[in-house]
Structure 1
């Protein structure tokens, strides 16, 4: 399977890809450098918006001119044209050593955001849900590194990764209320595969999971707990993935140069780049925040 380098960004910690279907743009971030990035596949340009602090994720909104970002100091709207930030809220203002990590919107347009301690202190983080009216509710506590999220195509399940557990948890999910319950382990990642990071889902209900320290992206069946396929990516630290393109048949993959040795960088000089592959299946859309 041909994995194509589309941006040789050499990002320190490339992460958080989301596809903006209206503008046909791939948004992503470099967490440690404080950059929000927008890749235009038609023009093959990668626009950089500095936000001057760690940024865990970026997601599109119903507004043409802005998205939502999770910074270390809280949640903000970001104006694409001016770079101006508009504060929304910070549910962890009392935890200055925590930052936002992965964030995604559910099929109803709510924003789900997770945190982590800068030193990855065990159990110091949480997962939150932000309603369109900006009301924030804590959904999962005692999390260590809140990471990948996905919703089943029939909207009955939510899948979730707390990286150090090396597990994917499935919750029963109510689209109308945003309630989740009955957490069940459906996938356990082998110890020698690296750490599960970002995640997305395809139209067949299979999960695609990026492996930090694992050099690729794996496709899993959450019904059987079986790994179905593996895509080698030319980087040691593969961080996340999402489906994009006009037909949602392209898998965009983010990587990091962080925690890559000088010897590994000689083998993988494009670590920190944005990659793309056509895996032969279409994916779920990136949902927008309705706030």
Structure 2
């Protein structure tokens, strides 16, 4: 039976705009992490980059020129690489300057924007989403840093979400979630050729009422932590740790009064490895929001995981 852990809500975000759709938490340094507000309301056309400090309890929010899907810290000070609308760019948190370097992504289809992604060395792997969550037209992409090439790996996604890269015995593999399929699949990756192998189903969650959203690897690479988005009123939401070898659920972190978990992150703080979970208000009725009073908050819990030599990848730019 899976171990159950109750996560604690933070007093962040503290506005309706920021609680609408938080995603993509990511450690900047021990005790601090970033996250994105994808959009600041149902009809909003922009979002934000946010930075939270555990010691002060303070969140700093900076508006972006569109709706971000992901943001990762770079090697260069004060700089983040961001997937925003249909562009990749750098955002300087000191000057608030936005510098796009790859634009017109998904140029041959309509009504899609960049969603989740990951940084791997000087590469980015990311997907887009159909804003109507209906048509298999969104892309899965590799931005190859060494030659600044954008390579479309797939063109049949609906809402491309959680991703993790695994290097084992010289073989690079990608774990990937296209949320409406309710499956986690594995691809072999060839960065030189810019190709994927055919997908292999690793976890089949098609019978689950919740939808798999963001995901991260455990430090030892043996498990996948998946935020589960339950699109209905409930006493709690769940983020789960699945063993990749057996497919068994080993741990469940519950988010009381917040059923729509969106993304997990591991963050070092006070000598332990914490699990940060973003949750969302998106698509909730007023009645559901009244019941699910913690919806849109960020949560934190002990991960119970050994950090070892773990450190989150920093984008090499």
Alpha carbons 2:272, 2:302 under 8 Å: kept: no
Give the aligned partner of residue 32 of structure 2. 25
Equivalent position SS for 1:245: strand
**Quick check: 1:8 aligned with 2:12?**
yes
CA distance in 2, matches of 1:224, 1:176: 31
Change (3 A) 1:67 1:257: same
CA gap of 1:48–1:168, structure 2 versus 1, over 3 A, is same
Q: Distance in 2 between matches of 1:109 and 1:65?
A: 17
2:247 is the counterpart of 1:225: yes
Distance 1:43 1:177 in 2: 46
Q: Identify the range of structure 1 (241-250 vs 164-173) with the bigger mean alpha-carbon deviation.
A: 241-250
Are 1:236 and 1:260, in contact at CA under 8 Å, matched by a contact in 2? no
For residues 99 and 240 of structure 1, what CA distance do their matches in structure 2 show? 18
SS of 2:199's partner is strand
- Determine which of 102, 106, 112 is the counterpart of 1:92: 106
Aligned-residue RMSD, C-alpha: 2.2
TM-score, reference length from structure 1: 0.91
Cα distance in 2, alignment partners of residues 35 and 77 from structure 1: 13
Cα displacement (A) at 1:263: 3.2
TM-score, with length taken from structure 2: 0.84
Displacement after TM superposition at 1:6 (Å): 2.2
Which is higher, the Rg of structure 1 or of structure 2? 2
Query: Which residue of 1 is the match for residue 266 of structure 2?
Result: 243
Task: Give the conservation status (yes or no) of the 8 Å contact 2:227–2:262.
Answer: yes
Return the match for 2:151 from 118, 137, 140: 137
- Deviations, residues 14-35 of structure 1 (Å, cap 9, x unaligned): 11111123x7521111111211
Give the distance between the partners of 1:84 and 1:265, measured in 2 at CA.
35
Partner-residue secondary structure (3-state), 1:193: coil
3-state SS of paired residue (1:289)? coil
Retained in 2: the 8 A contact 1:219–1:227?
yes
Equivalence for 1:213: 230
- List aligned pairs for 1:89-168, cutoff 5 A: 89-90=102-103, 91-106=105-120, 108-133=121-146, 134-152=148-166, 154=168, 156-168=172-184
**Residue 272 (structure 1) aligns with:** 296
Give the conservation status (yes or no) of the 8 Å contact 1:5–1:273: yes
Measure how far apart 1:210 and its partner are. Answer: 0.6
- Segments of 4+ in structure 1 off by > 4 A? 174-179
Tell me the number of residue pairs that the alignment of Structure 1 and Structure 2 aligns: 289
Aligned to 2:44: none
